[in-house]
Amino acid sequence: MEESSTKEAKRRLTARGAKTRSKIVEAAADLIRVQGVGGTTLDDVVLASNVSKSQLYRHFEDKSALVRAVIEYVGDRKIAGERDRLEKVRTFAGLQRWRDAIIENNALHEGRYGCSLGSLANEVSDQDAIARLKLQDLFTAWQQLFEGVLRRFQQEGLIPQDADIMQLATGFVAAVQGGYLLAQTARDVTLMASSIDMAISYLRLLSREQVEAV
């Protein structure tokens, strides 16, 4: 009986600790989104998450460890959202809907803050090798989602079978990231729309060439 009570107490402590850790990471992610990594201090995170500094250090030995956790949290959410949208894309109409959704979402802040992953990459890639590798994995996962879209386009006969899927997918990621950066700088999401539209227009050109070749 006593052993069972001890296990239950440990379980509750573990659950409480996980909840506290999540609260810290979410608060840090919100702050970094607005203030950037360099502009966010651990004291800021303590205040925003309503935890003590000792609680924060219980979960994260330093700021770098916390930033890595933020990258994982933000990245997993970003890729999950893109997966939900992109895995449904099988036609140009579907690709247009994806384009409209991502631009509309960025327009909520007039392009301010840029891409959550791109902004983190700009700040930490040259400072933290572990963080850079995690970001690389996330961008690779995003590129693979575009590769999936393009392979489905090939299966539907929308683009040529010999089209370089990896190259096209890389171009889409670059168009999205460049669009985020332009919109962030100008506070104008029409620049992001133009960037993505160029990538889609190139696919449509391939599609026309495919039809003409038949």
Q: Kindly give the interhelix angle for 63-86 and 2-35, rounded to the nearest 10 degrees.
A: 80
Q: Give the pLDDT confidence score for residue 9 in this predicted structure.
A: 45
pLDDT digits 0-9 by tens, 59-116:
999 999 999 999 999 999 999 999 999 999 999 999 999 999 999 999 998 999 999 9
DSSP-derived secondary structure for 36-58: TTTT--HHHHHHHHT--HHHHHH
pLDDT digits 0-9 by tens, 104-147:
999 998 999 999 999 999 999 999 999 999 999 999 999 999 99
Average pLDDT, the chain: 92
Q: Which residues contact 97 (CB under 8 A, 6 or more apart)?
A: 89
pTM of the model: 0.88
Q: Give the pLDDT confidence score for residue 2 in this predicted structure.
A: 47
pLDDT digits 0-9 by tens, 15-25:
888 899 999 99
Read off the amino acid at residue 124: V
- Report the distance separating Cα 213 and Cα 132, nearest Å: 43
Q: Strand runs (DSSP E) across 53-175, as ranges?
A: none
Per-residue pLDDT for 3 more than 70?
Answer: no
Q: Give the pLDDT confidence score for residue 109 in this predicted structure.
A: 87
